[in-house]
Structure 1
Amino acid sequence: MPLSSSLFERSASAPPIPRGLPLVIALTGFTDAGSALSRTIEYLRDEIDPTPVAVFTNDVLLDYRARRPVVAFDQDHLADYRPPRLELSLGHDALGSPFLMLAGYEPDFAWEAFASAILALAEEFAVSTVTWVHAIPMPVPHTRPIGTTVSGTRRELTEAHSVWKPTTQVPATVGHLLEYRFAEGGAAVAGFVLLVPHYLGDTEYPASALAALDAITVATGLVFSGDSLRDENREYLEKVEEQVAGSEDLSRMVENLEERYDAYMAGSTQATPIIHTGDLPSADELAAELERFLANRPSGDDDRFGA
């Protein structure tokens, strides 16, 4: 579509930006298993209160009918209107180290123009590294750490942290395009794909956001406390474990996943491929089990679980 206005506006209140900062990219969109990115963005905005540097134009990049803004209705009047946000911001980690953060929705339109704008901003600020994260559902157990597939130009990260290295074709996100364009230009770029248990993919799984923060730490050295997410995750897992313990089918499924995962990670020649689903329940079946479980719980439980 033709661009009718600028892709972004610079914030007049932005402080001077040091050169050579890492750039962290977190965009929601096509894949966000476990709400990993939406929760990561929410956590970072609340925890570090980043200062906008460039605010991207919704009327150019956003399909409002596909992702409608939120309006608050208060008894007899509209009290608030909250459109989505896509911003390049300056933040500081728990130790005060500065970094640039591109966070918000994945653009619906003008991908090439958007990528060119991000590359130009990265060049302007001479960013040192580029790190982005997204999450996909995989038949892996919630009782094991969330693994990653790592791509990009930073071979040391790929060799150390990529547990699954497929050769395949997948629907692209704008994060893929950004990584591809940064790599073409010789930038130090790394993309982390979080492998989230497929039966928890449609829930808000706090461990997925924690894994996203861990991936950012591994790639940049930035430090985030994550305490609130860890507290949420403990409560979440208690509910999942209660459900699994009460269902023979779910217990057997988790044990099956654990055996396959452990064999795969050990490099056994007898290991069943990690993506083999065979006799496992489908994600839809497991989601239905979760919904039935939560529907039968007394009121007052954590409403975020399963939202």
Structure 2
Amino acid sequence: MLDPTHLFDYESHVDPRTVRARTLVVTLGSFIDAGHAQRLINDHVLNSLSGHRLGTFDADQLISYREQRPTIVFSGDHFTQYRTPALALHEVKDAEGVTFLLLSGPEPGLRWEKMAEAIAGIVDRHDVELTVLVQSMPMPVPHTRPVLVSRWASSPELIPGNKPMFGTVLMSASFPAMLAQRLGERDNDVVGLTAHVPHYLAEHDFPDAAISLVEGLREVAALSIPTIQLAVAAGVVRAQIGHQVENSEELAEHVARLEQQFDEVARERALAAAEEQLPSAEEIGEAAEEFLKTLGDPPPEAPGAAGE
């Protein structure tokens, strides 16, 4: 029987006993990295913040290479530049010096349960209090509107005020979804953030999605990750998309339809939220009754009136 602790090895210079972090951010692959949001976040975090690799999972035991074929280069008369996929755990400090862990890499195709057990061991070993799974998915939304982020959690208390965008759906499982359930069954706190990426940009870099997920990390985990570089990249991408839309009547019409649909849904959600904030008929009645009672009370004496 495979011991899940044998799936992960720390770097030789790392003493696991010294590593403590409140938050574990997971960007492991799922069905699709729409807008390359996960890759953009990984690159941004590892290149703009201070950190180092703690260790890696054994890809040969976890990755189904026939389903997720790594790349290799054929150069003239030989093969070169083959790289084994990396499922790596990093220790990172945010802009305020707060330590967090980042687990990134492709979705494991094998041994899901053992992988989940190994990650649970990491959570326990490093005193992780909150695991945040970050991902994206293609949706019928326009690039001209703010990027929506769906939130879900192992407990509703972790996402107060959340308004679910979806009902009950039977779907094929992904490893991150299964991991969230397994950690939740152990009473570990888990929050999921999923950015909605315009479906026509799913295969292209869409930094706005990465920015929305970074903002989500700030809200749910209080992590401070600067987004200036991502914002610059997002501005360039928006300009490129705008140019393409201007030169394609068909694309312009499609985006306009998505904008109308997005705005209608936004109005409906705003109205629903406003109605929830209105007091009920019972609450109004109780308030009116209390007010009417005060009308029969004698007016309070003015200061000093009793001594006159």
TM bucket by the smaller chain? 0.7 to 0.9
The alignment's TM-score, normalised by the length of structure 2, stands at: 0.79
Contact persistence 2:35–2:202 (CA under 8 A) = yes
- Say whether 1:11 aligns with 2:11: yes
Rounded Cα–Cα distance in structure 2 between residues aligned with 1:244 and 1:163: 31
Rounded Cα–Cα distance in structure 1 between residues aligned with 2:239 and 2:270: 34
Query: Which letter maps to 1:207?
Result: D
Rounded Cα–Cα distance in structure 2 between residues aligned with 1:144 and 1:27: 27
Query: Which letter maps to 2:189?
Result: A
Contact persistence 1:263–1:270 (CA under 8 A) = no
Aligned to 2:252: 251
Aligned to 1:42: 43
Contact persistence 1:148–1:163 (CA under 8 A) = no
Contact persistence 2:4–2:118 (CA under 8 A) = no
Contact persistence 1:3–1:60 (CA under 8 A) = no
Aligned to 1:206: 207
Change (3 A) 1:178 1:4: closer
Q: Which runs of 5+ in 1 are unaligned?
A: 272-307
Using the aligned pairs only, state the percent identity: 30
Contact persistence 1:148–1:192 (CA under 8 A) = yes
Contact persistence 2:21–2:100 (CA under 8 A) = no
**Cα deviation, residue 132, structure 1:** 0.5
Change (3 A) 1:34 1:162: farther
Query: Which letter maps to 1:121?
Result: I
Q: Which residues in structure 2 correspond to 1:169-184 (within 5 Å)?
A: 169-184=170-185
Rounded Cα–Cα distance in structure 2 between residues aligned with 1:107 and 1:258: 36
Aligned to 2:304: none
Q: Deviations over 1:124-149 (max 9, x none)?
A: 21211110011111101111111122
Query: Which letter maps to 1:96?
Result: G
Rounded Cα–Cα distance in structure 2 between residues aligned with 1:270 and 1:150: 20
Rounded Cα–Cα distance in structure 2 between residues aligned with 1:52 and 1:230: 26
Change (3 A) 1:76 1:269: closer
**Cα deviation, residue 157, structure 1:** 5.3
Q: Deviations over 1:75-134 (max 9, x none)?
A: 676664422211122111122210011111111110000001101110121211110011
Query: Which letter maps to 2:225?
Result: F
**What's the secondary structure of 2:6's corresponding residue?**
coil
CA-based RMSD of the aligned residues comes to: 2.7
**Cα deviation, residue 192, structure 1:** 1.2
Aligned to 1:275: none
Change (3 A) 1:163 1:52: same
Report the count of equivalent residues.
271
Q: Which residues in structure 2 correspond to 1:1-307 (within 5 Å)?
A: 6-14=6-14, 16-48=17-49, 50-71=51-72, 80-156=81-157, 158-162=159-163, 164-267=165-268
Change (3 A) 1:161 1:83: farther
Q: Deviations over 1:209-241 (max 9, x none)?
A: 222222222211111112222111111111111
Structure (1 or 2) with the larger CA radius of gyration:
2
Rounded Cα–Cα distance in structure 1 between residues aligned with 2:161 and 2:208: 21
Query: Which letter maps to 2:101?
Result: L
The alignment's TM-score, normalised by the length of structure 1, stands at: 0.79
Change (3 A) 1:227 1:20: closer
Q: Which runs of 5+ in 2 are unaligned?
A: 273-308
**Cα deviation, residue 58, structure 1:** 1.2
Moved more, 115-124 or 227-236: 227-236
Q: Deviations over 1:226-261 (max 9, x none)?
A: 222211111111111111122232222222211221
Moved more, 111-120 or 23-32: 23-32
**What's the secondary structure of 1:267's corresponding residue?**
helix
Contact persistence 1:147–1:163 (CA under 8 A) = no
Structure with the larger helix share: 2
Query: Which letter maps to 1:58?
Result: A
